[in-house]
Every structure is written in C-alpha cells, then in structure tokens.
Amino acid sequence: MHSTAIPATAGSQIHFDKVKRKQRIKNFFKGMLFLLPSIVLFGVFLFYPLVRTIYLSFFLTDAAGNTTVFVNWENYVNLFSSPVFLQSIKSTFLFVLYTVPVTIIIALFLAVIANEKLRGIGLFRTLYSSTMGISVAAASVFWLYLFHPSIGLLNMLLEAAGIDGVGWLTDPAWALIAVSITTIWMNLGFTFLILLGGLQSIDSYLYESADIDGAGYFYKLRRITIPMLSPSLFFVITVTIINAFQTFGQIDILTQGGPVNATNLIVYSIYREAFVNYQFGSASAQAVLLFIIILIMTFLQFKIGERRVHYQ
C-alpha cells in the first residue's frame, strides 16, 4: 500500500490561502457594513426615484400618479412633436449659454483681483462671496423689485439716461436675459470662492521664477495662473453647467415660465406638467430626457475638458 502525503510546504500554502480568503470575505462584509447607511440613503432617495421615473415615463397616469395605460414610447414621441417642449429645450440651452461663460469670466476676474495682497482686500473677498449666503427665494424677490417696470431701479436708471424702460420680465425678448442676470449674480459667490482657493494653492515659486526671467503680469496670467488654475476651472465649469440645466427657483418666482414660454426651462416644464397638469407620465419622460442631456454634457466635459487640466 502506497500513501500519497502532501508536502509540508504545500499544506502550509493551502492553509494560508484559506485564511487569506476568509480575511477578504470578512473585510468585504465589514466594508459593506460601513457603506450600508449610504447605500440605503442612495437607494431610497436616488436609485428608487430614478427607476420609478423611467417606469412612469412609459405610462399614462391619473391625478394621483397611479399608472393607467401602458403607452410604450408615446410620451417621448409626443414631446418631440410638442412646440412647448421644443421651446423649453431651446430656452434651456440659451440660458446655459448666457449664464455659464459669463459667471466663470466674472468670477475669475474677481478672484484674480481678490488674490492680490492689498490693504483691505479681505473686505472685498467678503463682498464678492456674500451671494453664497442668500437663498434663491430672497435673491429672486430682491431682483423682482429691481426689474419692476415702474418702480424698479434698473428702469429708473435707464429713464434718467433718457432711455425708455424695459419690460424685463414681461417682454419675451428680455425675460430670459433678466433671469440669466439674476442667476449669474446668485452663482458668483460660490464660483468666486472656488477659484480664489485655486489661485491661493498655486506655488509662489512659479511666479518668482517668472519674475526673475522678466515676465510681465499678463504673461504670468496666461502661462502660469490659468494652466495651474485649470483643475478648479474644470470643476466650476462642470458644476455650473449642471446647475444651469437644473434651474428652477428663480424661474418660479420671477416669471413662472412666461412670457409666452420664453423662460419655460425644462425643470420648470417638468414641474408644470406634473403638478399643474397632473401628467406624470409626460413629466417623467421629460425628466429622463433631462437626465440624458446632463449626462451627455458631463461626459463631453470630462472627455474634452479634462485633457486640458494641468496638475501641479
């Protein structure tokens, strides 16, 4: 009789692999235990609403939001044949075009100024970032009075200069611009703080080396400041674009989507379709399309914009 014995080294290796496998399983469940609160919160407030919205977009619903008739892709087809929805898409992209570049440029200009080592600059930093502490409702009411056709400060200044007053919120040609001005003012504080933080994180030796070489202010701005600030710029551009597509509060307070649907952005259109017309299926289809648009814009931003980001 011949017996096959496992060498001691092989037996030790098998035992070590089993212990290692048990340790990995233990670490996995321990990690999942730490993640469980986040998974539950994301599941309840993010994943379930997303799945429910996609589900509702294929149905007609009653006033309580209960599904009644399965219509397949009909809600989506109706959207692209609806002049109101097509106008809302156009207005939304125009709004993004009006607000995002202007917000970034003004905030960058203010951040560069506030980054200078001047006496009393702390006061200006506080003033520039103060819009962060103002709610959307309060800011919208403030601008509502500024845009008032008869007692508004803006029209008073125009009339004092001999120019006829403008129907800021009642003229379709001006309403979207007026809302854009409000949004730019509201977003300046956050964007300014992020860019100022990025400027202050740039190593001073880069500027010192440029000074030794005799570089001018604008050369340093173009060759050092902007490239080194690109991570912060990439972040604020991405966040500002997403926030612009999701704008709702100032629209609801200033114009309610009017006049003539000139400011009926997609999010406000979703709100009106769901909670005014009680067409939850159509509103869900609009929400899904908005999600896809934001996803595509964010993907393009990461695909194209991240290539130009320079890290120190």
State the DSSP string of 155-196: HHHHHHTT-----TTTSHHHHHHHHHHHHHHHHHHHHHHHHH
Q: Does the residue 102 lie in any domain? A: yes
- Quote the pLDDT of residue 211: 82
CB contact at 8 A, 183 and 244: yes
DSSP single-letter state for residue 5: P
Note if the bond before 37 is cis, omega within 30 degrees. Answer: no
Task: Indicate if 125 and 39 belong to the same structural domain.
Answer: no
Classify burial at 301, counting beta carbons within 10 Å of its beta carbon; exposed 0-12, middle 13-18, buried 19 or more. middle
**Residues 183 and 267 reside in one and the same domain:** yes
Give the contacts of 165 (CB within 8 A, at least 6 positions apart): 149, 150, 155, 158, 159
What pLDDT is recorded for position 16?
A: 73
Helix runs in 43-130, H state only = 48-56, 74-80, 83-114, 121-129
In a domain, residue 173? The reply is: yes
Determine, yes or no, domain membership for 25: yes
Which pLDDT value is given to residue 111? 92
Same domain, 29 and 149: no
Report yes or no: 236 and 305 within 8 Å, Cβ to Cβ. no
In this structure, the answer to whether residues 29 and 91 fall within a common structural domain is no
Is residue 49 located within the same domain as residue 106? no
Q: Half-sphere exposure (CA, 13 Å, Cβ side) for 190?
A: 16
- Does any domain span residue 78? no
Residues 38 and 133 occupy one common structural domain = no
Closest CA relative to residue 32, chosen from 44, 51, 40, 22:
40
The predicted model scores a pTM of 0.87
The tally of domains found in the chain comes to 2
Q: Which two tokens mark 255?
A: 């114009």
Domain with residue 193: its CATH number is 1.10.3720.10
48 and 118 housed in the same domain: no
pLDDT of amino acid 86 = 94
176 domain residue, yes or no: yes
Q: Which mean pLDDT values do the consecutive 10-residue runs of the chain (312 residues) have? A: 54 75 88 90 91 93 87 92 93 96 94 86 87 91 91 91 90 94 94 92 84 82 87 92 94 92 94 92 94 93 79 64
Domain range enclosing 181: 83-308
72 located within any domain: no
On whether both 183 and 300 belong to a single domain, the answer is: yes
Closest CA to 198 of 229, 224, 226: 229
Are 30 and 126 in the same domain?
no
Residues 120 and 202 in one domain: yes
CA distance 271 to 293: 18
